[in-house]
Structure 1
Amino acid sequence: MTDGQTSAQTLIPARQLADLPPRFPGESAGYRSARNALLAEEIELRRHIERVAAQRRALPPGGAVPEDYRFEGEEGPLTLSEMFGEHDTLVTYNWMFGPQRARPCPMCTSLLSAYDGEMPDILQRVAFAVIGRSPIDKLAAFAKERGWRHLRLYSSGGNTFNRDYAGEDPAGDDVPALNVFTRSGGTVRHFWGAEMGATTADPGEDPRGAPDLMPLWTILDMTPAGRGQDWYPKLEYGNKAR
């Protein structure tokens, strides 16, 4: 198979790969047995993630963007096609920080804080734009307060990008959205957009995509208490920004 995929017929069964002897000090036979069973499921999950990623990459061409949206950036105006820079792929994140908000969404802010640290690596492969409907000065002022250094911020206050690609009502609340666009031969197309949300969530779950985009939740999912049922990130803890 192509694209780094290994034929399913050649894969070693996950349970066989997970059949490990005791590894950590003091662990019981019962713990190791349960842990190996879990490890087999983790191996299967990794394989499923790989299959889904390959299916995503194989999508047919998406729709051409209806217009070359014009944004305001920290260094002046530019269009969606100009956001690509030297790359042929552009990732956009719709930041919930519209003009009706005095402060941005804490969940979006937590996610973007993590992305800021990864951005020098991400930008080696693709272009990445953070888009909000507030004026660019307002977006940039919060980014400075937060200590962000690498995110590229743009205001969509003068266009319909957020409405078209995040499903926002201009008079209503902000909506978060991650979208991927491609550029080829002068044509910009929508490649993929996150479409999992409240309508696709299972009972008792917070609406989210898969794999989860937030490193915060990925870490907490590995702990005994998990994500918790009544905790969300905040903009400040003890009056100190994090």
Structure 2
Amino acid sequence: MADSELVPAGELAARAGVRFPNESAAYRAARTALLAEEIELRRHIERVAEMRRALPLGGAVPDSYRFIDETGGERALGDLFGGHDTLIAYNWMFGPQRRRPCPMCTGLVAGLAAAAADLMQRVGLVVIGRSPIERQIAFKVERGWRDLRFAEALGDAFAADFHALAPDGSEWPALNVFAKREGVVYHFWGGEMNGETMDPGQDPRGAPDPMLLWTMLDLTPAGRGRDWYPKLSY
């Protein structure tokens, strides 16, 4: 539907009619104004999603990348699709130099683990690390991530080419989507928001933010804050 055919967000907000006990008139006026902006945000998210879905296929992915899956077998990227034509792959910061994985990555992976069984009805899903697959499986078992699949990248070429490894050896988290057409794997979409795209006072973040933790904290009076980050244990 074209934007010109949509009911104005302010009118929809006024129609909503939601009220809570003991709220003031000032609260209701501010909340209705916010609701209009939330409706506009929802519409913008959908416009962006439509643009994303309309992307042409990206570059063909070389078949030289190799991975070790949880069975211990060596696989190509195309073997990780799980019978689907689309693969969501998240490179987490758990290289061989790390004793434990990145806490931020762990939080995002926990969200993927919770949705993995549902996601894998529609698409392939895999978390890729540079650490040996045995270490990744051990952490998966520790966390109780039953349905999520992990793989070890053999060598650093995949991580470097898909922006999970910096030239100086530093690790980055990387979220990529791949598509398979007639047996050929193509890159479709990858997160490109980084330090060069961040606004003042903000960490680099995606939009929408794929990490549930931050999305939920954004609903609170203090927001996500500036000096707190998750840990592996408390």
Q: Establish whether TM, by shorter chain, passes 0.5.
A: yes
Q: 1: CA distance between counterparts of 2:70 and 2:109?
A: 17
Match of 1:18 in 2: 13
Matching residue's letter, 1:32:
R
Q: 1: CA distance between counterparts of 2:20 and 2:164?
A: 49
Identify which of 110, 115, 133 aligns with 2:112.
115
Matching residue's letter, 1:121:
D
Matching residue's letter, 1:189:
Y
- Runs of 4+ more than 3 Å apart: none
Q: TM-score, normalised by structure 2?
A: 0.95
Residue 163 of structure 2 corresponds to residue 133 of structure 1: no
User: Contact 1:200–1:207 (CA<8 Å) still a contact in 2?
Assistant: yes
User: Contact 1:177–1:193 (CA<8 Å) still a contact in 2?
Assistant: yes
User: Contact 2:66–2:154 (CA<8 Å) still a contact in 1?
Assistant: no
Match of 1:152 in 2: 149
Give the C-alpha shift of residue 170 in structure 1.
7.0
Give the C-alpha shift of residue 10 in structure 1.
1.4
Give the C-alpha shift of residue 22 in structure 1.
6.0
Match of 1:224 in 2: 221
Number of aligned pairs? 232
Match of 2:47 in 1: 51
Q: Over residues 94-117 of structure 1, what are the superposed CA-to-partner deviations in whole Å (9 max), with x where a residue is unaligned?
A: 010000101110000011111101
Unmatched 5+ residue regions in structure 1?
A: 1-5, 238-242
User: Contact 2:60–2:186 (CA<8 Å) still a contact in 1?
Assistant: yes
The alignment's C-alpha RMSD in Å is 1.3
User: Contact 1:182–1:189 (CA<8 Å) still a contact in 2?
Assistant: yes
Q: Percent identity?
A: 60
Q: Over residues 186-235 of structure 1, what are the superposed CA-to-partner deviations in whole Å (9 max), with x where a residue is unaligned?
A: 11100000000111110001110100000111110001011011111100
Give the C-alpha shift of residue 58 in structure 1.
0.7
Residue 20 of structure 2 corresponds to residue 35 of structure 1: no
Q: TM-score, normalised by structure 1?
A: 0.92
Match of 2:60 in 1: 64
Matching residue's letter, 2:46:
E
User: Contact 2:63–2:76 (CA<8 Å) still a contact in 1?
Assistant: no
Matching residue's letter, 1:25:
P
Q: 2: CA distance between counterparts of 1:111 and 1:186?
A: 30
Identify which of 183, 190, 215 aligns with 2:212.
215
Give the C-alpha shift of residue 68 in structure 1.
4.4
User: Contact 1:71–1:159 (CA<8 Å) still a contact in 2?
Assistant: no
1:159–1:11 CA distance, 2 compared to 1 (3 A): same
Match of 1:74 in 2: 70
1:97–1:205 CA distance, 2 compared to 1 (3 A): same
Matching residue's letter, 2:171:
D
Match of 1:3 in 2: none
Q: 2: CA distance between counterparts of 1:67 and 1:186?
A: 11
User: Contact 1:94–1:132 (CA<8 Å) still a contact in 2?
Assistant: yes
Matching residue's letter, 1:123:
M
1:78–1:179 CA distance, 2 compared to 1 (3 A): same
